[in-house]
Structure 1
Amino acid sequence: MAIKRQKIRQAAFQALFALQSNLDANPVDVCQQIAQEELELEEAPEYMRVLVNGVTEHQKELDTLLAAHLSSKWSLDRLNKTDLLILRLAAFEIKYEDEVPNRVALNEALELAKVFSDDQSRRFINGVLSNLI
């Protein structure tokens, strides 16, 4: 059974959220646990690992990129953690994943915001990523 990338992105988001809450956690173990619990898979999908490792490894660059596209009254420190993780995930796909069109990365970020955030955050995420693209 092929699993949709949208579900994989949700699982990657959950893994990143867990890793942010527990800085000592091993990303491989967290991906594995979430894949088993949320996706009901033995192994974490390759794309989930790509997203989690990519966001983790490139976090400083992604944060710099995102900060440059925030309005002057915002800073990364003011963002709630959920929105920041969604933005990092989308920015990673936009910057590093050539097979994912920018509009797809943006739309998937908005889908994540529907599940894990609220309408106001969704509009904010849309604005930041539209500026980035």
Structure 2
Amino acid sequence: MSARTKSRKRALDILFSADVRGEPLERALAVEQERADARPERASSWPYARQIVQGVIDHADEIDDAIAEHANGWPIDRMPAVDRAVLRLATWELEHNPEVPAGVAIDEAVELVKELSTDDSPRFVNGVLGAIAKTPRATA
């Protein structure tokens, strides 16, 4: 598993747990920073995970607007929490990280929901992210 894949999983854990607990993402990120400082053996996955979560925090409204616009009748609050977290992570990558090709961001997101969510989630996440990827990439 690549370092970026591990980082995405770590970011997903933070996004998902904050969402489910109703905890502010800033607080979840701070708690994870404390864990990262205490566990140097996991240091390789932390910088990009932190970048993703901070990016989702910084662009939360814009990210949720993009997801809602392309989710075709699925309000964000009705989506499974895992799908919502993965969509936020991947939308940040699509719109604000030009280092990640759109196909990679989408493929990684689909793989995460295949592993962690419902049978319908891979097709749904792929469709939403594919539509978002067709819109002009925002400049971070």
- TM-score, normalised via structure 2 length: 0.80
Amino acid at match of 2:112: L
Q: Which residue of the partner structure matches residue 18 of structure 1? A: 17
- For residues 34 and 18 of structure 1, the distance between their equivalents in structure 2, rounded to whole angstroms, comes to 16
Q: Which residue of the partner structure matches residue 118 of structure 1? A: 118
Q: Which residue of the partner structure matches residue 62 of structure 1? A: 63
Q: Closer, same or farther in 2 for the Cα pair 1:35/1:101, shift >3 Å?
A: farther
- For residues 47 and 31 of structure 2, the distance between their equivalents in structure 1, rounded to whole angstroms, comes to 14
Q: Which residue of the partner structure matches residue 75 of structure 2? A: 75
Contact 1:66 1:91 in 2 (8 A): yes
- For residues 81 and 58 of structure 2, the distance between their equivalents in structure 1, rounded to whole angstroms, comes to 18
Amino acid at match of 2:30: V
Q: Closer, same or farther in 2 for the Cα pair 1:114/1:23, shift >3 Å?
A: same
Q: Which residue of the partner structure matches residue 4 of structure 1? A: 3
- For residues 95 and 34 of structure 2, the distance between their equivalents in structure 1, rounded to whole angstroms, comes to 25
Contact 2:11 2:53 in 1 (8 A): yes
- For residues 9 and 37 of structure 2, the distance between their equivalents in structure 1, rounded to whole angstroms, comes to 10
Once the two structures are aligned, what percentage of the paired residues are identical? 35
Give the CA deviation at 1:43.
Answer: 7.3
User: How many residue pairs get matched?
Assistant: 130
Q: Which residue of the partner structure matches residue 50 of structure 2? A: 49
Contact 2:7 2:48 in 1 (8 A): yes
Q: Which residue of the partner structure matches residue 90 of structure 1? A: 90
- TM-score, normalised via structure 1 length: 0.84
- Please identify runs of 4+ aligned residues in structure 1 that moved more than 6 A: 34-37
* More helix by percentage: 2
- For residues 14 and 61 of structure 1, the distance between their equivalents in structure 2, rounded to whole angstroms, comes to 21
